[in-house]
Amino acid sequence: MKNFLLVLIIVCFLSSVSAANFSDGFESGIINVADWTEYTTNEGRIRVLDTGSPHEGIYHVGLDDSVGGGNSSQTAIYTKTNFTGATDLNLGVWAKEASDEDDDCPASGAITTMRDCIAYTCDGITWFRLIDLPGLFGSYTEFKSQNIEDNCPTDLNSSFAIGFFQYDNAGFDIDGIYFDAIDINYNAEEAPATAPAPAPPLSGLSLIVVGILPILVIVFGLRRVLNNNMGSPEFGMIPQKTDFKDTIRNAIILIIGLLVMVLFIFALA
């Protein structure tokens, strides 16, 4: 039981957290499908553009409607990153509208109900407003939110995501929202190191061999000591001349035998 507790304590100490970061300025010129899920309704359109004066670099992502004056459409991109166990999760993003009317975002609802806002989901089903984007901010503005994980009732899992939403019925430069320099930093929980499997117990012939070995070593050592130091004609043993080296050698043999015996006893415990 003590050995098990010791291994458990060591494994717990090996578990740690490390700083992690997800960022995207869309400088690849495309939306990376490994990082983002795209969502649109009706004539919704999502593009990486080099027009519209990006906040930094050459590109930014634009969410708008492909048919001017048609049906109102929803567009969104949301993260695919696995934030399981993440803590201290902070968001920073730059955004600007292109004469887009202010379509208020509900406090919570299905993905189809989200409007002009940044939102998050804890379970992949219900979305919650995180930052409501005001109407008619024609220049890039920075938006931030800290410790987002505190808004979820349980620790974050793979269903957690952050989404960037736009809703209207026309394209740039009548409607639409641009996003750029999205940065999400957090502490990621590392998986604990796996404890080594315990060695199988000794049995059968191996148990006999290992058990007899220390006994033979000890008997051999005692015989040398007796023969060298206690020999007499009465016991049929003739005393042998011994020196300091013999004494040390005999002592080492006895110590080895005792150590092997102790190890054998611990192996059986």
For residue range 178-199, list pLDDT tens digits in order. 999 999 999 997 655 555 555 5
pLDDT of residue 13: 38
User: 20 with 187: CB under 8 angstroms?
Assistant: yes
What is the overall mean pLDDT for the chain? 81
User: 253 with 246: CB under 8 angstroms?
Assistant: no
Average pLDDT over residues 59-64: 97
Q: How far is CA 2 from the centre of its chain?
A: 29
Distance CA 19, CA 54 (A): 28
Distance CA 72, CA 174 (A): 13
The torsion angles phi and psi of 65, rounded to 5 degrees, stand at -110, 135
What are 135-157's pLDDT values in tens digits? 778 899 999 999 999 999 999 99
Tokens at residue 249, please? 């050698």
* Torsion, Cα of 209, 213, 216, 222 (10° steps): -160
Rg of the chain's alpha carbons, rounded to an integer? Answer: 36
Whether the pLDDT of residue 123 is over 80: the answer is yes
Split at pLDDT 50, 70, 90, the class of 224 is: low
pTM as predicted: 0.67
